[in-house]
């Protein structure tokens, strides 16, 4: 199994895999620090050529071990083109409902998050510790739901959107694509694409 990234979020993913008893034969990819060759006794490869060989000859599975919506989408595309198959990392410590769930490939769900029935999580999205996603919420592709965020029933989150730590999205709110919701904000009305929303209640502004 190849974890793409060797920084902070890669460590979170490693913890998920350890909790899930999938901690053997893990290799990291990091092209930022080529002089670092291991992380917690797991090897690091630092070139895309080496990654392609690994995916072809060792294990074609990879997990996104990086944060940030745009970066996750970029590396998903890169490693898929190298022949990899993106796997999800879903903690056994997460509380996930049994009915009407649609969890797509490449999703990361960390421990102590709560996800209710009828929820759809788009490809490559990440759900952090302590976040709550209530019933019938739709989260688009490559979204980031930060620690302590709460998304209430029937809300719709567009792709490439970041919901900040401890932010709240009220029921049936529609959030557009490529939106940033600031930490602690309370979203009480719909937000169009390409906005930054901050405050209580949240006001939105164009992204630069």
Angle (CA) 20-138-92 rounded to 5° is: 10
Largest CA distance in the chain: 53
Segment 63-116, tens digit of pLDDT:
999 999 999 999 999 999 999 999 999 999 999 999 999 999 999 999 999 999
Q: What are 108's strand-pairing partners? A: 89, 126
Query: Regarding beta strands 89-90 and 144-145, do their DSSP bridges make them parallel or antiparallel, or are they unpaired?
Result: unpaired
Q: Which CATH number fits domain 2-87: 3.30.70.1050, 3.40.50.20, 3.40.50.2300, 1.10.260.40?
A: 3.40.50.20
Predicted local confidence at residue 23, as pLDDT:
67
Measured between alpha carbons, how far is 69 from 157 in angstroms, rounded to an integer? Answer: 13
Q: Which CATH number fits domain 90-200: 3.40.50.2000, 3.20.20.60, 2.30.33.40, 2.160.10.10?
A: 2.160.10.10
**132 has a pLDDT exceeding 80:** yes
Please, what sign has the CA dihedral across residues 63, 22, 28, 7?
A: positive
Query: Given this chain, do its domains 2-87 and 90-200 carry the same CATH topology?
Result: no
Segment 31-69, tens digit of pLDDT:
988 777 889 999 999 999 999 999 999 999 999 999 999
- What's the pTM? 0.93
Measured between alpha carbons, how far is 173 from 152 in angstroms, rounded to an integer? Answer: 9
Q: What ranges do the domains of the chain cover?
A: 2-87, 90-200
């Amino acid at each position: 199994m190849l974890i793409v990234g060797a920084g902070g979020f890669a460590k979170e993913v490693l913890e998920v895999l350890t909790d899930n008893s999938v901690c053997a034969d893990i290799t990291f990819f990091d092209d930022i620090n080529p002089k670092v060759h291991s992380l917690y006794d797991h090897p690091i490869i630092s070139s895309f050529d080496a990654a392609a060989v690994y995916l072809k000859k060792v294990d074609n599975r990879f997990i996104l071990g990086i944060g940030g919506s745009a970066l996750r989408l970029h590396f998903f595309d890169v490693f898929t083109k190298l022949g990899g198959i993106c796997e999800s990392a879903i903690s056994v410590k997460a509380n996930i409902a049994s009915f009407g769930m649609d969890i797509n490939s490449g999703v990361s769900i960390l421990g102590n998050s709560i996800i209710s029935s009828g929820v759809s999580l788009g490809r490559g999205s990440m759900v952090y510790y302590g976040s709550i996603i209530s019933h019938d919420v739709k989260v688009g592709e490559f979204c980031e739901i930060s620690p302590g965020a709460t998304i209430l029933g029937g809300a719709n989150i567009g792709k490439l959107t970041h919901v900040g730590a401890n932010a709240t999205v009220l029921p049936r709110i529609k959030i557009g694509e490529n939106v940033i919701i600031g930490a602690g904000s309370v979203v009480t009305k719909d937000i169009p694409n390409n906005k930054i929303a901050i405050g209580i209640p949240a006001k939105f502004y164009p992204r630069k």
